[in-house]
Each structure stands twice: as C-alpha cells, then as structure tokens.
Structure 1
Amino acid sequence: MTLLKLALKSCWNRRASVLLTLFTIAISVMLLLSIERVRIDAKSSFSNTISGTDLIVGARTGDIQLLLSSVFRIGHSNNAVSWQSYQDIKKRRGVAWSIPISLGDSHKGYAVLGTDSSYFEYYRYAKKQALQFSSGRAFHNAKELVLGSEVAKKLGYHLGQNIVISHGMGNTSFHHHDDNPMTIVGILAPTGTPVDKTVHIPLIAIDAIHATNSKPRAITRNSNKQHEHGSHSGQDHEHGPHDLDNGSLNSEPSDLIGSPKQITAFLMGFDSPLYTLQVRRNINQYKAEPLLAIMPTVTLKELWDMLDIVEKILLLFSMVVVIISLLGMLTTLLATVSQRRRELAILRSVGARPWHIFSLLSFEAIIITLLGCVFGTLLFYAGLLTVTPMLQSQFGISLSLTPLSPYELTLLGVIMLSGTLMGLFPAARAYYYSLADGMSIKI
C-alpha cells in the first residue's frame, strides 16, 4: 500500500507528462471502443432492417443492388417488374403473402414508397416485429398517406395535414405534383430502419400523381376478398369525387392498387422453406421477363462479407493507435528513469530494496494505463450520446448505450496487460541501478 501511495504521488509530481500520456491512451481507448461498437451495431441495424421476408423479387440486376434499392432505399433500379408477372408469381403454391412496392418519387429528400395494406400487415423488422402506429391509421384511399416517424419529426408534420409528392429521388426536384395533394392519416412508430425515413402511399396514388391529366384516377371500393388478393379486372370503375377526396380518419378502405403497369419489386413470405427454394428457382428462370429473387438474410451476409476487409482495416487502425499510445507511455517512463536516478538512489539509501524500485515503476505504468482506460471509456459513452442521434437520422444506425460487452471488456483487459508489460521495461532498468551510480555525478 505504501508503494502504491508513493507511485500516485510520483505521478502527481510529474503530472504534466503523465496527463499527456494518459490523454493519449484515453483517446486511443475511446477510438477502439467506438469502432468496435459502430461495427457491431451497424451490422445489427442492417440485419434488423427486414425480418421474416423469405424472398425479394425485382428486375434482374445484382443481389446486393436489389437489396439496397428495395429495402435500404440506396440507389435505384433501372428496370421494373410488370404487374402481370407479379400477379402470376404471387399465386404460386406455398406463397403466404406478398407486398408490392413502387419507388421513384420523393418528398423533401425522403423516399416515397407505393404499396398496399399488406405492407402494414406483413412487413417485419428486427426480430419479426410488426409495424406500429404512433398515431393515426393506415391509408384507405388514393388521397391518403402514412409517414415514417423521422419524416414526421424532422418536417414537423401532423395528422390531417396536406403535402405534395415530388417526382424523382433526392433533395432537389423540378417536378412537384401540386395538383394531387395528399392527406397525412398515419404516423408510424420509430423502428430504427429506413421505414422511419419513408413516405408511404397507396399504389393507386402512384398512377394518379403521374396521370397525364390533372385529375387523379378514380378509385373503387372492392370487397374484402378482392382487397386481400389484389384481384382487379384491369378497368377503371366510376365513382364520385367524394370517394376520392375523402381523407377523414373514419373513411373505409378503398381500392389501393388500381391498375399499375409495373412495380419496382415485391417481398414474399412462404409457408415452408421448401416452397421458398422452389419458387426462387422458378423466378430466376422466369421466361416472361428477366427477374431476380434473392433471400435477404443470405444477401445481407454477402454484403457484410464484402465489408469484412473494411472492418479489419478499421480495427487494425484503432489497435495501431493504442500501440502507439502505449509506446509513448514507454518512452516517457524510460526517459524519466534516467532523470530520476538520484530520486531512486535516495529511496535505496533509506532502505528501499531493488524489488521496491521495480514495483514502484510498475505501479506507475499500471496507474497510467488504468486511468487511461477509465477516461477513455467515459469519453466513449460521451461520444455515443453525442453521435447516436446523427447516425440514427442520417444512416439509420442505432448505437446502443448498453454496458461494455464481454468482448469490449476483453479489449480493455488486453490494453491493461499491454500497459503493464510496457511498464516492466523501465522498471527492470531501474532495478539494476546501483546506489553508487545514482549518487555519482556523470558528465
């Protein structure tokens, strides 16, 4: 205990150099923990974006491109899937449900997704969690839409407000569909996925806002059976303006599909994995048009395999920073040993044994490394509190503020062990200093 107090006082006496070394170690620890937490949570966030979907079907491009465009709203698909092909494939044996999606429009930089009521019924994220409404309900006709939580929060929208959809993706659009304003009837609860940054509208509204005339396509009220299976005669049915413009919260579900010619992609769920493999093979060999069916879980794994080298580079970079900081501590301790030869000789003269000197310098290295790890961890959590909202809003990556994982604690243990080993070198050097060498004046 006396040696530990002496080591603390010795560090305080040399606080300028010790604080600089401690700060360097703290920064390196923060960087290492941050990279590891971002790596793990980013993978988890991407994996949680879609759950329970067996197949994603789109035009024949690449597996990862189809996944990014249809699920993450990254990039776009140059081709589309004909509505006739979608209707044919969804009737295959073993298909439990399907969700058509149509992309290509935007609202103030947020993606607009056209779909039907099956989206809110069957879409799952994280561990098969269903979409929930924080307020309002799903759309019931072509004049209604549902906002993701982030869209509503960032733009300050509320239920009953009318907004205008723009043609094209991105923050800048030169074509606004001002003649077809739509009413907000629902706001989804936060999911931590691209759903939060999406404006959801009925498929029939896609045709309506792109119609050559200023009037939207008329809609029809189908029976529950028609609505569930998406069966349409392909003809427009006449209804009065009241049906189309009814945006009240008490309106009944209407035709949400209309007669689209094509969609961007569609999601599918099956009764059995055997049906999944069988239908996937049939889709990839589909003769009517070139289509591609991917399994989201498999494609996500391929995506992370591609990024594996980036993960390793980031981890290597952070480890190099830690090693450099520990080497800096070693250099500082070695330099101070030469300057402290008289101090160590005085300790020897008052009865300190060589192993006391060895333990003293070892304790100093341990103290500096330990405090560096503690302050580095505090900086790590402070950084999480600061950066998490930005990563969540910009990239959909939700960083957890949970306690350190066993792996992260192992990393800190490795740093502590490395710092202790680094401290053995100056301790061993001081161990062999003799009393006469310390008291003599050298020129």
Structure 2
Amino acid sequence: MNTALFTLALRSAWNRRGVLSLVVASIALSTLLLVGIERIRHEVRDNFSQAVSGTDLIVGARTGPVQLLLYAVFRIGSATNNISWQAVQMLDQHRAVAWTLPIALGDSHRGFAVVGTRAAYFERFRYGEKQALELAQGRAFVDGIGGVFDVVIGAEVARRLGYTLGQRVVLSHGDGAIAANDHADKPFTVVGILAATGTPVDRSLHVSLEAIEALHIDWQAGVPIASQAVPADQLAQHDLTPRSVTAVLVGLKTRAAVFSVQRQIANHRAEPIMAVLPGVALDELWEVIGIGERGLLAVGALVSVVSLAGLVAVILAGLAQRRRELAILRAVGCGPRALLGLLAIEGALVTLAGVALGLLTGALLLALGADLVQQHTGLRPGLGWPRADEWRWVAAVLLGGWCASLLPGWRAYRLSLADGLSPRS
C-alpha cells in the first residue's frame, strides 16, 4: 500500500508539473540562498582566521583593535598614524621578544597592496596551521641596498597580471589613482613569486623597508619634490634606514609573557602605541559582522517561508479541482489517512526536488564561478559536501516542506465522500 501510495503521489505531482515547477524553483532559490549564505560565512571566517598564525602580538599606533588587525594583516583600510623606527628598535631589544616583522604600507601597484618588510618575513610569517611561506619561483629579496629594487609578488598578483621573473614593475604612491604619483623613476624587478596561500599575501607585492624609504627619499608630504630628485644610481650615498612603519608583527619567546608585554607596550611613554592579540581582535570582528550575518540568514529564512507558503497555496488551490478525484479514491477503498499521506508525500517530493535543485545549482555556481569570486573578493569557495550547519538548513527546509503539506492534507482528510461526489454549486 505504501509503495502504491508513493507511486500515485509521484504520478499526481508529475501530472501537475507545470504549476509545481514554479514551487520547486522557489524552494531551490531559498535553499541556494540559505546554504550559500552559510557557506560564504564559513569561507570568510576561515579565510580571516588562516590569514595569520604564530604571531603573538600586532603593534601599531593607538586605534581600535579591529582596525589595526584589518590594515596590518588584511590590507583593508589605512592606519591613523605610523609608529617610529625607535619603537621598532625598542621591540627588537625587548627581552621577551623573539622576532619582529615591521610592515610598511601605503603604496600600491594596479590595485594590489605593496608591503615593505624585512627579508625575515619569508621565514617567520605563518598562515593557516602555522604553515610557512614558500617560493614557487625565484628567490626572496635581501635587506639593504643590494636588494633595494627587488620585489617578491604573491600568487594572485602573478596570475592576474601575468607577471613572470624579471618583469619590470612600477609602484604607485597611495592607491595609484593619480598617474603623476607613480614612482616611474625607480622601477622594480620581480625576483620571486610566492606559492598560493589563500590569504592576503597572494594579493600583495613585497619589497624591503629600504625600498620604501628609497621610493620616498625625494618626496615630502606625499608629493614629489623635483628639485630634490635622487636618481636610483645615487641611492647608495643616502641613509635608507626607515623613519617609521605602519605596524609590527611580534613573536614572543614564550606565550606566557603575552599580556605582560602588551601592558608594557601600552605604557610606552615615548609615543602612543598599542598591541593587540590577533585572536582577540578576530573575535571582536565577528561580533561586529555577526549582526549582518544574522540579517542575511533571516532574509534567507524568510524566502524559505514564502516558498513553503507558495507550496501550501498551490496544493490548496488544487484541492478544489481534485475533490472528485479524491472522492473516487475514497470510494475505491482509500481511507482518509491515506489521502492525508498522499498529499503529505506530494509536498515532501516537491520540497525534496526543490532542495536537490538548489544544492546542484549551488555546486554548479561554485564550479563555474570560483575563479571570479576569488578575483573580486580574495575568497576561493571550495567544492565539497555541505558542512554540518548547511545540512541543518537543508533539513529545516525539508521538514518545513513536509509540515506545510500537512495543512492541505488535513483539509483533504476532512472532505466527505458525499461532498466529493456531489460538489456544491
């Protein structure tokens, strides 16, 4: 009986496929929206969490912890102020500090950030599960005047701009919006290309701190001074020691000293600087964007409710045309409970078809659009089975569709045989 009822429900739904296809499409859209939002949420969190690891403190000018994290690690926004080179030297000499990586930001190249740092960056910097950076091609630059015009580019920069080893590169002051701000008199040469990391490193160009100083040695207040122009071949005659940096990544000899060092940095009297723990700053960031996440999920849930309401409306509207059909089924021995089951199975099949279509559409979009998403957002969503949270949304839609179909099923359950054979005019 159950097999026959399932077959009957399947054929009945197929017979009304024109109308039900619209319901399937709306359920597919709601499933795609819910699962897509959940996937994007996880991808964003994973991308942010893996961007830096093994760094105990991030030191910068006093500002908000989230802002410091965003511009120092993710190249988002800009610093309110720089910190002096004397502060960097103070950190280098601190007895609890194992290593420091000064970061100088502010220049760019065709929309990609330029990062001035030490050569030790390629040995000390960690991402993901404390993975070290690797060079896919070439070598790292060296500190000092010997490597002042060497640049190491990220994998995404090389891929999108088609750069190879030996490529000549002209950096721009600021965001590069004004062509006159290009450092055309001091071109760089690509000496290394980093392997892909899935972090902001892929979208950065790395030069030495001396290179940043050399670029701006004949600039003042963000403007080149023609009368003080210093040709590239005369840079060796000048002191290229940095005067300031944007931030400093700090690694400690022992994690137990992290709060003590943080307090000492906050109490530094020579200039107002602060130190933040990357993990704590990330938690604050999630609190900020949590409202937006919940809002997007609420929109997705609302779309699902509307889709399921459409399912109920379609089945209820069809009951008026199917009253004689249902009455005949009851006349040949199909009981009221069987009718309830028939409509419940129909609703479940429609919902299942919509959910399956939504998941397949999502997988297809990921397969075709992963590269495009990475180009515009830096995220590369991976194909794979839905996560546990995504499966919960899928289960919620399936359960909601089945429950929604019970209402028209209950309506059919209450139809009497006489009412079905002799409908009122």
Letter in 1 for 2:213: D
Matched, 1:296 2:298: no
2 CA distance for matches of 1:47 and 1:209?
A: 33
2 CA distance for matches of 1:88 and 1:412?
A: 54
Which of 170, 175, 184 in structure 2 is aligned with 1:178?
A: 184
2 CA distance for matches of 1:62 and 1:113?
A: 21
Counterpart of 1:107?
Answer: 109
Counterpart of 1:210?
Answer: 216
SS at match of 2:180: coil
Once the two structures are TM-superposed, the CA of residue 32 in structure 1 deviates from its matched residue by: 0.5
Matched, 1:270 2:269: no
How do 1:120-269 and structure 2 match up within 5 A?
Answer: 120-140=122-142, 141-212=147-218, 213-216=229-232, 258-269=240-251
Say if 1:369 and 1:416, in contact at 8 Å, map to a contact too.
Answer: yes
Which of 309, 328, 347 in structure 1 is aligned with 2:329?
A: 347
Once the two structures are TM-superposed, the CA of residue 85 in structure 1 deviates from its matched residue by: 1.5
Deviations 1:281-304 (A, max 9, x none): 111111111111111110011011
Which of 298, 313, 318 in structure 2 is aligned with 1:331?
A: 313
Matched, 1:95 2:87: no
Percent identical pairs in the alignment equals: 44
SS at match of 1:174: helix
1 CA distance for matches of 2:344 and 2:216?
A: 74
Which of 346, 357, 364 in structure 1 is aligned with 2:339?
A: 357
Say if 1:58 and 1:292, in contact at 8 Å, map to a contact too.
Answer: yes
Which of 301, 317, 322 in structure 2 is aligned with 1:319?
A: 301
Deviations 1:162-181 (A, max 9, x none): 11111112555431111111
RMSD between aligned alpha carbons? 1.6
SS at match of 1:111: strand
Say if 1:59 and 1:81, in contact at 8 Å, map to a contact too.
Answer: yes
Say if 1:207 and 1:217, in contact at 8 Å, map to a contact too.
Answer: no
Q: 1:95 to 1:218 in 2, by over 3 A?
A: farther
Letter in 2 for 1:208: A
Matched, 1:29 2:31: yes
Counterpart of 1:62?
Answer: 64
2 CA distance for matches of 1:217 and 1:290?
A: 37
Say if 1:208 and 1:217, in contact at 8 Å, map to a contact too.
Answer: no
SS at match of 2:105: strand
Counterpart of 1:250?
Answer: none
Which of 380, 389, 395 in structure 1 is aligned with 2:362?
A: 380
Letter in 1 for 2:371: P
SS at match of 2:181: coil
Letter in 1 for 2:293: E
Name the one with the larger helix percent. 2
Deviations 1:406-430 (A, max 9, x none): 2222221121111111111111111
> Could you list the runs of 5+ residues in structure 1 that have no partner in the other structure?
221-234, 238-257
Q: 1:93 to 1:178 in 2, by over 3 A?
A: same
Counterpart of 1:3?
Answer: 5
Letter in 2 for 1:272: T
Letter in 2 for 1:166: S
SS at match of 1:77: coil
Say if 1:109 and 1:172, in contact at 8 Å, map to a contact too.
Answer: no
Say if 1:99 and 1:268, in contact at 8 Å, map to a contact too.
Answer: yes
How do 1:74-93 and structure 2 match up within 5 A?
Answer: 74-93=76-95
Q: 1:210 to 1:217 in 2, by over 3 A?
A: farther
SS at match of 1:100: strand
2 CA distance for matches of 1:378 and 1:439?
A: 43
Give the number of equivalent residue pairs.
409
2 CA distance for matches of 1:440 and 1:396?
A: 65
Matched, 1:398 2:356: no
SS at match of 1:268: strand
Once the two structures are TM-superposed, the CA of residue 260 in structure 1 deviates from its matched residue by: 1.2
Letter in 1 for 2:161: L
Say if 2:214 and 2:235, in contact at 8 Å, map to a contact too.
Answer: no
